[in-house]
Amino acid sequence: MAQAPGMLANPFQVAQEQLDIAAKKLNLAPQVHAFLREPMRELHVTIPVRMDSGEVKIFKGFRVQYNDARGPAKGGIRFHPQETIDTVRALAAWMTWKCAVVDIPLGGGKGGVICDPKSMSEGELERLSRGYVNQVGRILGPETDVPAPDVYTTPQIMAWMMDEYSKLVGHTVPGVITGKPLALGGSLGRDDATARGGVHTVRDACKHLGIDPSKATVAIQGYGNAGYFAAKLLPEILGCKVVAVSDSQGGIYNPRGLDSEAVLAHKQRTSSVVGFRGSKPISNADLLELDGDILAPSALEEVITESNAGRMKPKIIAELANGPTTPEADDILYKNGVFVIPDFLCNAGGVTVSYFEWVQNNYGLYWELDEVHRLLDKKMTKAFHDVLGMAQKNKVHMRTAAYMVAVARVAEAMKLRGWV
C-alpha cells in the first residue's frame, strides 16, 4: 500500500494490511479473518462543554471496542486536534494484538476526542473529561471496557473520569480506568512501564544478536514519557549510551552521550530539547538515519517509510511509538538485516502494568514496586521469546511473527466462544 511522497497512509488500512499478512501465514479461516479486520463496535459522541468564556463549544469524540474475545476492552483515550476515527480504529486493533501478544486477559479498545488540550484551561479540560465519560460511560466498566491515559491525557484526567463514572453508577469504581494517581488506586511502576518493558525487549534482542548493550549507542526520536524514560533506563539497566534525542521542534546529538535528566530539565525550561548545551542540532529525519546500534522511534506514526528505510543503519529498532513503520519499510529493513522489535510487543509494558493496576483495583490489594518490576520483566521476556520463536519457525520478520502469535490467540478465543 504505497502512498504518494509526503502523504501519510491511513493508519487503519496499515493495521488491516499487517493483519492480512499474518492471516495468510496462519491460513486463517476467511470468516475469522473478515471478523478481525473490523472493530466489533464503536461509539461516536458529541460533547458540549461550557468554556471559561461562557461559550458552549461542541467536541467530537470516539470510543472503539475492537475485539473483546479474550476479555474486557483495554486502551487509552487521546485528546488531540488531529484525532481521527481511523487512527482510533487502528490503535484499538493494535491494542487487541498487544494484549494478546503479552498474554493478558484483555481485549483491545481506544478512545479519542478532537480538541487542542494545550489551549484549554484546567477547568475546561475537567469539564471535557467528565463530558466524555457522560457520553461513553454506558459502554465502559471494569468488566467491559477499561480506558487509560494516552496522548495529551494525564493521571489527573483519569481521576476526573473515574470520579464521573463512579457518580453515574453510585459508588467508587477504581477498576474502570487505569493510569490513575496512586492516591486513587494507581499502580506503582506505571510511570515508566512503557519504556521499561521496551528496555527488557532490547536486552533480549541484544542477547539474541550477540550485541553487548554496554557498548551500544542509542538514538531516540521523541522525548515524551516513553522517550525520556527510555533515555533514562537504557543507560541505567543496560549501560547503553544515548547519543541523540529529539522532539517535535528538532533534535540534539552528542557522540559522547547525553544526560537524560539534564536534557529533561532543559526541555522543561525551554519547551524543547533543541539548544541543549554541549550538543549539536540534528533534524528528526537525520536522527532516524544515524549510524548507531539502537534506534527507538518514540513519537508518532509512520516515520519509517519506504522512502527512508533503505538508508537506516541501526542493528535494532525498538518501536516505543505506535505504528512508526509502514509495511513497505518493514520489508526493506528485514532484507537489510535490521532487527525490528514491533510496536505492540516493544511498547506493551504500559498496558501490562495497566493490567496489573486493574487486577490490584479489583482485588483491593496493592503490590510493592519490586513486585511490579518482577512481573513486568517476566511477562515481557516470555512475550519476546514467543514472538522470536514464531519468527524463526516461519522465517518471517518480528512484526509478522508478533501478529501471528497475537492473532492466533484471539482467533482461538473467538472459536472457543462459538463466534465464528
Q: What is the pLDDT of residues 104-138, one digit of tens each?
A: 999 999 999 999 999 999 999 999 999 999 999 99
Query: Is residue 57 flagged as an active site residue?
Result: no
Copy the grid coordinates of residue 31.
470468516
User: 153 with 206, same domain?
Assistant: no
Statement: residue 300 has pLDDT above 90: no
How many other β-carbons are positioned within 10 Å of the β-carbon of residue 142? 17
> Sorting pLDDT into bands at 50, 70 and 90, what band is 388?
very high
**pLDDT at position 237 over 90:** yes
CATH number for the domain that contains residue 147: 3.40.50.10860
Residue 1 has pLDDT above 70, yes or no: no
Q: What is the model's pLDDT at position 2?
A: 43
* DSSP output for 339-373: EEE-HHHHTTHHHHHHHHHHHHHHHT----HHHHH
Same domain for 28 and 125: yes
pLDDT classification of 70: cutoffs 50, 70, 90:
very high
For 71-89, write each residue's pLDDT tens digit: 999 999 999 999 999 999 9
Q: Are 251 and 170 in the same domain?
A: no
**Residue 243 reports pLDDT greater than 60:** yes
Question: Quick check: is 159 in a domain?
Answer: yes
Instruction: State the pLDDT confidence band at 372, using cuts at 50, 70 and 90.
Output: very high
Pair (202, 125) in one structural domain: no
Based on the fold, state whether residues 122 and 208 are members of the same structural domain: no
96 in the same domain as 49? yes
Residues forming beta bridges with residue 50, ordered by sequence position: 56
Q: Is there a domain that residue 383 lies in?
A: no
Tell me the pLDDT of the chain averaged across its residues. 95
Residues 199, 158, single domain; the answer is no
Q: Are residues 29 and 177 in the same domain?
A: yes
In a domain, 393, yes or no: no
Q: Is residue 355 part of a domain?
A: no
Q: Which of 304, 323, 346 lies at the terminal end of a domain, its last residue?
A: 346
Expressed as residue numbers, the domain containing 254 is 193-346
Total number of domains in the chain: 2
Q: Are residues 170 and 35 in the same domain?
A: yes
The answer to whether position 357 is within a domain reads no
Give residue 14's pLDDT: 85
What is residue 151's predicted lDDT score, i.e. its pLDDT? 86
Residue type at position 248: S
Q: Are residues 169 and 20 in the same domain?
A: yes
The CATH number covering residue 247 comes to: 3.40.50.720
* Same domain (yes/no): 16, 165: yes
pLDDT of residue 8: 63
Q: Which entry of 74, 110, 241, 267 is annotated as an active-site residue?
A: 110
Residues 335 and 199 in one domain: yes
C-beta neighbour count of 314 within 10 angstroms:
23
Please check whether residue 363 lies inside any domain of the structure.
Answer: no
Residue closest to 2 by CA, chosen among 321, 328, 265, 309: 328
Taking each continuous run of H as one helix and of E as one strand, the counts in the chain are 14, 12
Residue indicated by cell numbers 500500500: 1
- Segment 22-37 shows an average pLDDT of 97
pLDDT at residue 5 above 80?
no
Among 310, 327, 346, which residue terminates a domain? 346
Q: 109 to each of 41, 144, 255, how far by Cα in Å?
A: 10, 10, 41
Q: What percentage of the chain reaches a pLDDT higher than 70?
A: 98
d(CA 399, CA 384): 11
Domain membership of residue 398 (yes or no) is no
Q: Which of 150, 184, 218 is at the close of a domain?
A: 184
